[in-house]
Amino acid sequence: MIIKTIKLTNFRNHKSYSLNCKPTTTLILGENGCGKTSVLEAIYILTQGKSFRATDPDIIKRDTEYYLIELEYDTGEKVLASYDKKSKTFKVEDKKTRRLSPKYKYPIILFLPSDLNLITGAPSRHRDYFDRFFSILSPEYNSALNKYNKALVQRNKLLKDEFISQASIFPWNVLLAKNGVILNSLRQKFIKEINQTLTETYRSIAENGDNVEIKYITDINNFTENEYLNFLEKNYEKDRILGHTSFGVHRDDFEFIFNQTKADGSASRGETRSIILALKFIEAKIIAEELGKKPIILLDDVFSELDNKRRKCLINNFKNHQVIITSVEKFTNSRNSR
């Protein structure tokens, strides 16, 4: 599907904003701080059901009572989301729900300036990045991740209670084990799939013979639910002292390897950007193949971070997608941009 229009009311710093999107490339121009990224955020909410950077109380425009965002596809289908400081509601085909149903979600490739620094980021940043990608790719992953995170919050809260018993924590251990095993299995599967073409895709951008791979770092390699559960039980006293859960997939990492060594510290700035571009291209390819839908590409001010060679490569690789770009300046080589 193609996004036809997006409308914002009381969203971030927009009192009222409307954008007509082209089926090829739409360019949103403006100075920093004018709300360009907010437009991409609104699109993300209406295609994924949640923001990529904040919670609803942070999104609603100051001194207003609600926000409303509306998206219309070229098929005529409309998706609305509203928030009134109490709850969020989605409306699709005259049906109102508290959450956006998976059947109404549409795949997105989101490219943020911070992604270009992904390789040097902390493990939590790596997890956030791949969790976002895998959640779009797999409803099962998204469901398991949400359940795991909720159980983790509750378990950590109970661990800080001096009167809590190990039996009281057991139900949360069960949820962590069940969903942790699912996340571990799917992370292994998807990383293996990425690695199959990562070097080849990287070389097509960098035009050299370097090798690139992503190494999945985990302590839960192919654990059964019972094995996972036993580790949580065994670590109970340790976790009580620490005040948090010290074992689990929430501590996993994704390490970028460049020519058999860590890319962080060995890959140059240009090589790092080529690795991230390759990863984005593979994201789009895998999503299209797995879901049978061509993802919409959202590029948030990344052109200012790329040289001309990589800009051209980005445009050429996404030429068959709908692309919505924010930028502080016009650039060449865009196709049919506004």
β-partners of residue 212 are: 258
Write the DSSP string, 86-119: S-EEEEETTEEESS--GGG---EEEE-GGGGGGG
Taking CB atoms within 8 Å and a gap of at least 24, the contacts of 313-321 are 313/205, 313/277, 314/277, 314/280, 317/277, 317/281, 317/284, 318/284, 320/294, 321/109, 321/284, 321/294, 321/295, 321/296, 321/297
Q: Evaluate whether 152 touches 250 at the Cβ level (below 8 Å).
A: yes
0.85 surpassed by pTM: yes
Could you read off the pLDDT of 90-125 as tens digits, one per residue?
Answer: 999 889 999 999 899 999 999 998 898 899 989 999
Both tokens assigned to 160? 């800080």
Could you read off the pLDDT of 159-189 as tens digits, one per residue?
Answer: 999 888 899 999 999 999 999 999 999 999 9
Residue 179: Cβ-neighbour burial (10 angstroms; 0-12, 13-18, 19+): buried
Q: Scanning the structure block, which residue is given the tokens 């689990």? A: 248
Tell which residue, 219, 225, 234, 233, has the closest CA to residue 177.
225
Q: What is the mean pLDDT of residues 288-303?
A: 94
CA angle 153, 37, 83 (to 5 degrees): 55
Element (H, E) at 233: helix 225-234
SS in 3 state form for 125-185? HHHHHHHHHHHHHCHHHHHHHHHHHHHHHHHHHHHCCCCCCHHHHHHHHHHHHHHHHHHHH
Q: At 156, is the pLDDT very low, low, confident or very high (cuts 50, 70, 90)?
A: very high
190 pLDDT higher than 90: yes
Could you read off the pLDDT of 193-230 as tens digits, one per residue?
Answer: 999 999 999 999 999 999 999 999 999 988 999 999 99
335 pLDDT higher than 80: no
Q: At 301, is the pLDDT very low, low, confident or very high (cuts 50, 70, 90)?
A: very high
Structural domains in the chain, sorted by start: 1-106+295-338 (3.40.50.300), 124-293 (1.20.1050.90)
Q: What is the mean pLDDT of the chain?
A: 93
8 pLDDT higher than 90: yes
Q: At 331, is the pLDDT very low, low, confident or very high (cuts 50, 70, 90)?
A: low
> Hey, which bits of the chain come out as E strands?
3-11, 14-20, 25-29, 67-73, 78-83, 88-92, 95-97, 108-111, 212-217, 253-258, 261-262, 296-300, 323-327
pLDDT value at position 221?
84
- Regarding beta strands 323-327 and 296-300, do their DSSP bridges make them parallel or antiparallel, or are they unpaired? parallel
Q: Evaluate whether 38 touches 56 at the Cβ level (below 8 Å).
A: no
pLDDT value at position 153?
97
321 pLDDT higher than 60: yes
- How many whole angstroms separate alpha carbon 130 and alpha carbon 138? 12
pLDDT value at position 329?
81
Q: What is the mean pLDDT of residues 64-83?
A: 96
239 pLDDT higher than 70: yes
Q: At 338, is the pLDDT very low, low, confident or very high (cuts 50, 70, 90)?
A: very low
pLDDT value at position 334?
45
Question: In Å, how far from its chain's centre is CA 87?
Answer: 23
10 pLDDT higher than 50: yes
